[in-house]
A and B are shown apart, each in its own frame.
Chain A
Amino acid sequence: MKANKNKTLTFASCIALLMAFFLGSNAQAETEDAAAFYKGKNIRWIVPYDPGGGYDEYARLIAPYFAKYTGARIRLDNKPGAGGMRGVNELFASPDDGLTVGIINGSAMVTNQLVGIQGAKYKIEEFKFLGRIVADRRVLAASIKDGFASFEDMIDAKDEFKIGATGLGGSTYVDAVVIGEVFKLRQNLIHGFDSSSVIRQSMLRGDVAAMWGSAGSAADSVDDGLNKVILQSGKQRSPDLADVPTVMEMMDRVNASAQDRDLVRAWQGLNDVGRPVASPPGTPDYKLAFLREAFKNAMNDPEFLKICADTGRDISFATGEEMNTIASDAAVMPDAVKEFFIGAIKGEL
């Protein structure tokens, strides 16, 4: 009996010792664990658009550097559909083991949520952001032969002119509605084009006089003196568009009202969300910290920066923590402005 009791005691104390060892060492081992965890693993990177698009290109450009700093292999997974929502939904529902990340169309996803679009199975504020690759810079390109060599020409236009946009409530549409409202432009907004490329062709034919779009897609198009960018978003002029005035500058020129300024500020806030990279909600903090660090290093890698400069790809890095603020701020706006946006997105304006 006594021998049995001794055995049980020894056994129990061994268990207790082992438990103390594992539980106690957990906290410290976590940070080292992250690097060891990711070494040699596969990280799935969801891209909510087809290969060849802007989002896909950014992901492909940075993936090798992200791989370098995480020690993992990156597998790009294109999941196009529903204007980017399919991929975002899938990212939101992915397992939170830290092995899935995704690039998202931040501005569109915030506005989708604002309007309460059906089919949005995500909450933008619950994503764990790794950081932002680039903020959305919106530009207005106009046809010179239709008489628009500068934005002032457009403000002063005597006759109605046509602006082309893609889907009702899409970003190119909302851009035109907002700026048209603030500057009281005599525009006839023709939406419904299938893509920006089709609008560009329409512009070259002379069917429409101008179109909104992202700076990246405008840079890709070679218009050879037929069209030019006459207005850009942002608080400061982009180095690639040094001669083009910003919306803020033009608002001072026309003495815009306080409400108009609120409207533009909200618009700018949405643009600032841009193209962030995120992982699903519930990703453990220590893994998230590791991924954020790797993302930051990748975005600041001199080789990566050189490639971006060479290929003309704009970059505006923001950290994961900053992204949390940017994303939540983007949805905050005065009620009147919010109503205006919802109306614009629903196509009621």
Chain B
Amino acid sequence: MDMLAAFGSGLSQALSLEVFPYLLVGSLFGLIIGVIPGLSGHFAMAMAIPFLYSMEPNAGIAFLLGAHATVAQGGGITAILFSTPGTGQNAATLLDGPPMRDKGLAGQAVGAALMSCFMGATFGAVSLALLLPVLQKVVLWFGPPEIVVLAFLALTFVAVLGKEDMNRSLIAGFLGLFLSMVGLDNVTNQERFTFDMLQLTDGLALVPVIMGLFAVSEITDLWAKGGSLTGNQVKPLSARETQKQIFEGIGLALKHWWLVIRCSFIGTVMGLIPGLGSAPAAFVAYGHAKQTSKTKETFGQGNIEGVIGPEAANDAVEGGALASTIAFGIPGSSSMAILLSGLFILGMETGPRMVSEHADIVFIMIFTIVIGNFIGTVVGSFLVNPLSRCTFLRSSILVPVLIAIVFTGSYAVNREVFDILIVIVFGLIGYLMKTLNYSRAAMLIGFVLGHAIEKNLYLSIKLSGNFFFLEPIPLVLSAITLIFLIYNLWPQKSVPTAPAQKKEA
């Protein structure tokens, strides 16, 4: 089926009466799942699977992907309004989102986040469409040597994030790397730091760690300080004011279109690589936004670019992940694995045959992502007003409710009571880090990337020998990493030494 015909067919099918209602329901479902802290895309897909048995293939795909597309948008709303990342991908939005809320600009932040998500998702989907003819070749470029160097490059963004206090950031980053090693290592078949607990055999679960580090610590801080989330210096915004801000936010995202495109590109590329997950992409994009901003000093205190960057990236990741999933039927992440089985249930085969014989289905997927995100943006912007009223509530009401939701969301991931313990422990760690000015973002980057780096380093050496980084793509990426590190770590006399009280990233 040639591309143009597939394009047209895909579009008309996505908008047809048999498919569109499912798209709509799926998107709304995903948005709500995203708003609830702890529930992620993986969860949304797993919940959607049983419904697929009674659906037609086109409708089923629209439902599945629609749900998956909007989760990050919902998560962004919660991250900004409640300092609680709805999903792992939204952790980076915590760096500048809540500070904007504290300045009374919550509406602007959410509007910008939603719009960036939509633009990022579109970029990712369009990239997928353009890559279709060469999809297989591109996906095969990325093997262990490429992945380890790319993951290492992402890790060096710790240097950018923690420029103000390099020592503390490095400590946090390495601590994160260390924590990623907890669990059964399948190379040596040795249990590392599991203390003979079966619950730790698979390592520390990502969602409870993020919930603890970022959500519980913020909630604890709120409880300790008292007052409301926005602090007492800002007057509650009226509904009209919030709505106006949302439109301003949307406008700002459009104004920074070049930043959006660059961060979307980062997201798509990192999405292509299986095993990295979506959280790193958001942090790398944040680092890049900070790096290239004309107002870098205000990052961490409510700079809108710090919201636009990560949100664009974490939605663009989907396009990349989908590309590698359908190119070979090799899932890039756990939610993609569920998507694959969903496709299987619907009777579809993935792989080269899908692209050549069922290109219209691929286009339905692409349009689902774009349209789903659009629905998410529109509905999301109306959700904001009622939700933002809650940020002006007293902490004595908000804290118990948020804690209950966070605990439930974290438990729901694996139905494992032990995960709640992880949330509590990391909540304490996160609170300590926040108080002592250690970068939690740096720790998270280390934690998320540790496994990918260690595993792929081992495989690279085994498969390509000790000088694996001399192959073309790894060589280029290594050069970029070196330049990047030198640029950031070179002592610059022009930058005034920041006082120790500067807010931690």
By a beta-carbon cutoff of 8 Å, the part of chain A in contact with chain B is 50-53, 56-57, 60, 77-83, 85-86, 89, 118-119, 162, 166-170, 190-194, 197-198, 200-202, 204-205, 207-208, 220-222, 224, 311, 346-347
In the complex, A118 Cα to B139 Cα: how many Å?
A: 39
Known: A52-B46, A221-B328, A224-B352. 13 other contacts (CB 8 A): A50-B337, A52-B340, A53-B341, A119-B196, A168-B186, A192-B462, A197-B330, A198-B275, A201-B274, A204-B328, A220-B344, A224-B353, A347-B189
Q: Which 10 A-B pairs have the closest CB atoms?
A: A52-B341, A167-B186, A222-B351, A192-B187, A168-B189, A197-B330, A52-B338, A82-B201, A51-B46, A119-B198
Question: B55 within 8 Å of A by Cβ?
Answer: no
Q: Is A51 a contact partner of B331 (Cβ separation < 8 A)?
A: no
- Could you tell me the dominant secondary structure of chain B's interface residues? helix
Q: How far is the CB of A103 from chain B (nearest CB, A)?
A: 16
Residue of B nearest to A166 (CB): B186
List A contacts of B187 (CB < 8 A): 167-168, 191-192
Chain B: minimal CB distance from A117 (Å): 10
- Interface pair B140/A86, CB less than 8 Å apart: no
Q: Contact at A346–B189, with CB atoms within 8 Å?
A: yes
The answer to whether B186 touches A82 (Cβ under 8 A) is no
Closest to A86 in B: B198
B-chain residues with CB within 8 Å of residue A57 when the two chains form the complex: 341, 344-345
Say yes or no for B334: interface residue by CB 8 A criterion: yes
With known contacts A190-B459, A192-B187, A200–B415 Cβ distance under 8 A:
no
- Known A-B contacts A222-B353, A346-B189; A192 and B459 likewise in contact (beta carbons under 8 Å): yes
For residue A1, give the distance in angstroms from its CB to the closest CB of chain B.
Answer: 63
In the assembled complex, B221 has its CB within 8 A of some CB on chain A: no
Least CB distance, A192 to chain B, in whole angstroms = 4
For A52, A200, A204, A220, the residue with the greatest tally of chain B CB atoms inside 10 Å of its CB is A52
Taking a contact as CB atoms under 8 Å apart, the answer to whether A205 and B143 are in contact is yes
Q: Give 14 A-B contacts (CB < 8 Å), ordered by A residue.
A: A50-B334, A51-B46, A52-B342, A53-B337, A81-B199, A82-B198, A192-B455, A197-B330, A201-B274, A202-B143, A205-B143, A207-B463, A311-B344, A346-B189
Residues of B within 8 A of A190 (CB): 459, 462-463
How far is A190 from B340 in the complex, measured between Cα atoms in Å?
27
Measured CB to CB, the closest approach of chain B to A302, in angstroms, equals 19
Chain B residues near A201 (CB-CB < 8 A) = 139-140, 143, 274, 328, 330
In contact, A80 and B352 (Cβ under 8 angstroms): no
**Residues of chain A contacted by B403 (CB below 8 angstroms):** none
B76 to chain A, nearest CB (A): 26
A220 near B353 (CB under 8 angstroms)?
no
Task: Give CA–CA (A222, B354) in the complex, Å.
Answer: 10
What A residues does B416 contact at CB under 8 A?
A: 81
Closest to A120 in B: B198
| Contact assessment for A222 and B330 in the assembled complex, using a CB-CB cutoff below 8 Å | no
Given A86-B198, A168-B188, A222-B352, does the pair A52, B337 have CB atoms closer than 8 Å?
yes
The docked-state distance in angstroms from the alpha carbon of A222 to that of B202 is 30
Contacts of B372 in A (CB 8 A): none
Q: Which residues of A contact B49 (CB under 8 A)?
A: 51-52
**Cβ A192 vs Cβ B353 within 8 A:** no
- Chain A residue nearest to B353 in the complex (CB): A222
Asked if B38 lies at the interface with its beta carbon under 8 angstroms from chain A, I say no
Residue of B whose beta carbon sits closest to that of A168: B189
CA separation between A200 and B324, bound complex, in Å? 13
In the bound complex, what is the Cα–Cα distance between A60 and B353 (angstroms)?
26
Q: Which residues on B are within 8 Å of A, measured CB to CB?
A: 46, 49-50, 53, 139-140, 143-144, 184, 186-189, 191, 196, 198-199, 201-202, 274-275, 328-331, 334, 337-338, 340-342, 344-345, 347, 349-353, 414-416, 455, 458-459, 462-464
Which A-chain residue is minimally distant from B349 (CB atoms)? A222
**Chain B residues within 8 Å of A193, by CB:** 459
Chain A residues contacting B458 (CB-CB under 8 Å) are: 192
User: Contact: A207 with B143, CB < 8 Å?
Assistant: yes
Contacts of A166 in B (CB 8 A): 186
A198-B341 in contact given A85-B198, A222-B351, A224-B351 (Cβ < 8 Å): no
The reply to whether A197 and B196 contact each other, CB–CB distance below 8 Å, is: no
Nearest-CB residue, chain B, relative to A207: B463
Chain B residues lying within 8 Å of A192, measured Cβ to Cβ, are: 186-187, 455, 458-459, 462
Which among B50, B186, B330, B344 has the highest number of chain A CB atoms within 10 Å?
B186
Contact A81 B198, CB 8 Å, known A198-B330, A200-B328, A222-B352: yes
How many angstroms between the C-alpha atoms of A82 and B418 in the bound complex? Answer: 14
Q: How far is the CB of B243 from chain A (nearest CB, A)?
A: 40
In the assembled complex, the Cα of A202 lies from the Cα of B459 at a distance in Å of 10
Tell me the complex Cα distance, A345–B389, Å.
Answer: 58
In the assembled complex, which residues on chain B have CB atoms less than 8 Å from the CB atom of A208? 463
For residue B363, give the distance in angstroms from its CB to the closest CB of chain A: 20
Partner of A119, one of B50, B201, B328, B337: B201
Write the chain B residue with the least CB distance to A52: B341
Tell me whether B140 and A204 are in contact (CB under 8 A). yes
Contact partners of B328 in chain A: CB under 8 A: 200-201, 204, 221
CA–CA, A345 and B198, complex, Å: 19
| Chain B contacts for A80, CB-based, 8 A | 414
A222 to B143, CA, bound (A): 19
B194 closest partner in A (C-beta): A119
CB-CB under 8 A from A53, the residues of chain B are: 337, 341
When chains A and B are docked, how far (Å) is the Cα of A220 from the Cα of B329?
8
Among A118, A198, A220, the most chain B Cβ lie within 10 Å of the Cβ of: A198
Q: What is the minimal beta-carbon distance from A194 to any residue of chain B, in angstroms? A: 6
In the assembly, what is the distance between CA of A288 and CA of B464, in Å? 54
A170 to B188, CA, bound (A): 11
Q: Shortest beta-carbon distance, A283 to chain B, in Å?
A: 23
Q: Which residue of B lies closest to A224 (CB)?
A: B352
The reply to whether B331 and A197 form a contact with Cβ atoms under 8 Å apart is yes
Q: How far is the CA of A344 from the CA of B167 in the complex (A)?
A: 45
B338–A51 touching, CB < 8 Å: yes
Query: With A and B bound together, what is the CA distance between A162 and B415 in angstroms?
Result: 39
A81 touches B201 (CB 8 A): yes
Distance (whole angstroms) from the CB of B60 to the closest CB of chain A = 14
The CA-CA distance from A198 to B329 in the complex, in Å, is 11
Chain A residue with Cβ nearest B347: A311
Residues of chain A lying within 8 A (CB to CB) of residue B415: 77, 79
How far apart are the CA atoms of A50 and B413 in the complex, in Å?
11
Interface centre among A79, A118, A202, A222 (most CB of B within 10 A): A222
Contacts of B340 in A (CB 8 A): 52
Complex-state Cα separation, A169 to B190, whole angstroms:
11
- Nearest A residue (CB) for B48: A51
Known contacts: A51-B49, A222-B350. The answer to whether A81 contacts B202 by CB under 8 A is yes
Q: Which residues of B contact A198 (CB under 8 A)?
A: 274-275, 330
Interfacial chain B residues near A220, Cβ < 8 Å:
329, 344
Residues of A within 8 A of B345 (CB): 57
Give the Cβ gap from B326 to chain A, nearest Cβ, in Å: 11
Which of A60, A78, A85, A191 contacts B46 (CB under 8 A)? A78
Query: CA of A190 to CA of B462 in the docked complex: distance in angstroms?
Result: 7
- Out of A81, A167, A224, A346, name the residue touching B414 (CB < 8 Å): A81
In whole Å, how far is A175's beta carbon from the nearest beta carbon of chain B? 16
